[in-house]
Structure 1
Amino acid sequence: MQESNPLPRLPHRQALWPYFLVAPTVLGGVLLLGYPLVRNLLISFQRYGLGELIRGDAPFVGLRNYTTVLSDPEFWEVVHRTLWWTVVNVVLIMVIGTLVALMMLRLGRWMRILVTSGLVLAWASPVIATTTVFQWLFASRLGVVNWLLVRLGFESFEGYSWLADGPAAFTVLVLLVVWQSVPFAAITLHSALLTVPAELYESARLDGAGSRRIFRSITLPILRPIFGLVLCLEVIWVFRCFAQIWAVTKGGPGEATTTLPVYAYRVAQSLHRYDLGAAVSTLTVLLLVAVLIAYFRQLLRQEADR
């Protein structure tokens, strides 16, 4: 019996052609992301204020900037607030996104297309445009939210200033970020849900399993990698959230909505201490990496125990 000929090997140039195609993207990513990261790390080890920026000389001071930042009680308050901000937003995003994805499975074709179009439009809206709309909605005078609450009988919200109260401003920002983030989570999870074989659901229903049991025993185990990926992306996006907070409250009132990115910007721009701002930014990246590593370790441990 004659053996089949192996597949012909590609010429050397053709084998390297895919790498040449992706090289511009990789190089652009390195220049746009790698250089600012390295430059920020370098500044964090220098004395770099307004005078050094003008003169162009910045002496190295070792770990002095990090010592100054880590010994500041305000920094640790901001860290605690940032972690709380991340947990609240990510939990709401994942829960609402999962519920919306499950709801879309039960919708008819045209209603599902309508809901998906609405999610895409909400997701594609520019951040500043959506932020401006929320500022209008929660305006103390002529705001739709106050008007609606007063019509529902809550007279205390007549002329209420949401952005002048710390917890209220924090709530407004959470609603804004959740509104902008849920579409991505819902669409991604819905696409993943479509890959689960329908036979598994039918067999589970024949065995008497309810919706919660089906989700816990079939859907969640199969889609665990997708849930983990979406969760990590949302943690990164929420943790580094800056534009919404700065546009709405600038970290106020007081320090009620100041997270680490806002804190770093305020230190660098208001105090002209670019070295301390760079140190805070570096610590922010390290803290985010530590959170993600802890999550991945727990995820891998769960996979190993299965």
Structure 2
Amino acid sequence: MPVQTQGKDTAGEPAVRKAEAPSGPRGTTRGTTASSGRRAAAAPYLLLLPALLATLILLGWPLVKNGMLSFQNLNARQLIQHLTEWNGVENYQEALGSSEFWSVVQRTVWFTAANVVLIMLLGTLIGLLLARLGRRMRLLLMLGLVLAWAMPVIAATTVYQWLFAQRFGVVNWLLDKAGWHSMADYNWLGTQFSTFSVVTLLIVWQSVPFVAINLYAATTTVPKELYEAASLDGAGAWTSFTSVTFPFLRPFLYATTFLEVIWVFKAFPQIFAINEGGPDRLTETLPIYAFVEGVGNQHFGMGAAISFLTILVLIVITSYYLRAVIKQEEDEL
């Protein structure tokens, strides 16, 4: 009769075994985990590396070259003879000591502020209108907005030149037919105010679609239950907007305003193509001023210095805006 061995397996070893020791050193598993964690943490930076390299090559290197040029005395003679004449900070001293430069800075700031206010106001109203329209009317209005937004800048500027032409412009013709006969041959580009009015209308017309469409998209994130609760509490349209809609749209409005400040501040083709900063250079903003002083007057070092100062002014404006936004958000918390 065979003898049974209790607690033994077929090989004669104990059925219950101790956990086998790892085949490698004790720190191997821990080291592998740490290495995997480092690779996972570095993955986003590796994915961003191509974009960062392209930014450094396409933007960083021209910025460095422009900075070097701003410390040189470079005009037609130096350019033809391939001479490099370093003059230190003379270009910056000359620009900052010029009353014309500060006049252009003030003009640029007011021009930017007026355009951004109009863009955000009209864009917000149209975005809210899109949220209330029916499907077909909304699609039709959005199609018109997209077409206006997609039109090339120079093409849109040329259309506005035709519209506001002195002799054969559509605007003057319509005003004449409406009874304002003195406007039949009005020169819209003859004064500073009228020229800026045409340019402002053009920039606002090109910028409103971006604000309106994105604001409409933001309104779709507002829960419908909040509107129902507000209506049950007796809130009207204005109260519903201030208490329900606006808190959800506030981050979008802050970000969009920031982008519009940058876009309007650096607007170049609209102003230059309309009247090249005229009449009498009274509609030059900082980008136009840098171009005229650099390329127009063939003082490329001065133009480079003014362009750098333009960047600094824009940084100051946007920093002040971001600081105000952050402070307001902290106060609300």
Return the offset for 1:84: 0.8
| 2:198 paired with 1:180 | no
Structure 2 residue corresponding to 1:107, chosen from 120, 128, 133: 133
Q: Is the 8 A contact 1:246 1:262 kept in 2?
A: yes
Structure 2 residue corresponding to 1:271, chosen from 297, 316, 326: 297
Q: Is the 8 A contact 1:65 1:279 kept in 2?
A: yes
| 2:220 paired with 1:201 | no
> Which residue of 1 is the match for residue 102 of structure 2?
76
| 2:104 paired with 1:56 | no
| 2:276 paired with 1:250 | yes
244-253 vs 18-27, which deviates more? 18-27
Return the offset for 1:171: 0.2
**Based on CA coordinates, which of the two structures has the bigger radius of gyration?**
2
Cα 1:34–1:110 change in 2 (3 A) is same
> Which residue of 1 is the match for residue 327 of structure 2?
301
Alignment size in residue pairs:
299
Q: Is the 8 A contact 1:193 1:223 kept in 2?
A: yes
Q: Gaps spanning 5+ residues in structure 1: where?
A: 1-7
| 2:309 paired with 1:283 | yes
Return the offset for 1:23: 3.1
Return the offset for 1:189: 1.0
| 2:152 paired with 1:126 | yes
Percentage of pairs with the same residue: 50
Q: Gaps spanning 5+ residues in structure 2: where?
A: 1-32
> Which residue of 1 is the match for residue 72 of structure 2?
46
Structure 1 residue corresponding to 2:61, chosen from 4, 25, 35: 35
DSSP-derived class of the 2:176 partner? helix
Q: Is the 8 A contact 1:167 1:256 kept in 2?
A: no
Structure 1 residue corresponding to 2:188, chosen from 162, 166, 171: 162
Q: Distance in 1 between matches of 2:249 and 2:53?
A: 33
> Which residue of 2 is the match for residue 4 of structure 1?
none
Higher relative contact order (CA 8 A, sep 6+): 1
Q: Is the 8 A contact 1:170 1:256 kept in 2?
A: no
| 2:249 paired with 1:223 | yes
| 2:52 paired with 1:26 | yes
Q: Is the 8 A contact 1:166 1:256 kept in 2?
A: yes
| 2:170 paired with 1:144 | yes
Q: Is the 8 A contact 1:192 1:223 kept in 2?
A: yes
Q: Distance in 2 between matches of 1:11 and 1:212?
A: 51
Return the offset for 1:211: 2.1
DSSP-derived class of the 1:163 partner? coil
DSSP-derived class of the 1:164 partner? coil
TM-score (norm 1): 0.92
DSSP-derived class of the 1:160 partner? coil
Residue type of the alignment partner of 1:244? Q
Q: Is the 8 A contact 1:86 1:235 kept in 2?
A: yes
Q: Distance in 2 between matches of 1:113 and 1:301?
A: 39
Residue type of the alignment partner of 1:93? I
